Amino acid sequence: MSETKQLHQTIIEACKLNDAKAQMQLYDRYSQAMYTVALRYVKEVAEAEDVMQEAFIKAFKKIHLYKEEVSFGAWLKKIVVNQSIDSLKKKKIALVSINEEITEQAYHDTWEVAPHIQRADVVKAISELSTKYQVVLNLYLLEGYDHSEISQILGISEVTSRTQLMRGRKQVQQILKKKHYA
């Protein structure tokens, strides 16, 4: 085990024993990254800060459940994403269920982005979409969830997830085309 990983594991073990100093060390290591994740979903600075704080509180309460099957950062990120979505649901942001019929095109739609367009350009374009599309695109493209997981997280059907992904992608492509080719 590397010295860094061993130190990291020591801090996590101390957190499991409710060591406030160790909790602060983990918070200092991960707070900026987790704030960025929360802000990607909730869009308001104060709300992202609240989401991040609540996520850390949940993480410290449930740290005994962390089993090292994934990195601590990935485990914490999942808590932040779920907390962000819970915050959106509390605001009653409609993740509108779309007609269950979906065309074959939705299943086979390709992601066509010119090679010179950077990931940051795509993330910025996603941030310009309506919330229902932003959430699905963030979960699918940036967090790596599949449609089954997205449907469970958001309480929508897999078909709705696929449709919102397809429609969101088209809008992102239009935004990118306007900005890079206009």
What is the 3 state secondary structure string of 45-59?
A: HHHHHHHHHHHHHHH
Residues of the chain falling short of pLDDT 50: 94-110, 182
- CA–CA distance, 95 with 115 (Å, rounded to integer): 31
- Is the pTM higher than 0.75? The answer reads no
Q: What is the pLDDT of residue 52?
A: 95
Q: What is the pLDDT of residues 22-31, one digit of tens each?
A: 999 999 999 9
First to last CA, the chain: 52
- CA–CA distance, 153 with 146 (Å, rounded to integer): 11
Three-state SS at 98: coil
CB-count exposure of residue 140 (10 Å: 0-12, 13-18, 19+) = buried
Q: Which domains does the chain have, with CATH numbers?
A: 3-90 (1.10.1740.10), 104-181 (1.20.140.160)
Rg (the chain; Cα; Å): 18
**Could you identify the residue written with the tokens 């459940």?**
65
Q: What is the pLDDT of residue 92?
A: 62
Q: What is the pLDDT of residue 95?
A: 47
Q: What is the pLDDT of residues 66-101, one digit of tens each?
A: 888 888 888 999 899 999 988 887 776 544 433 333
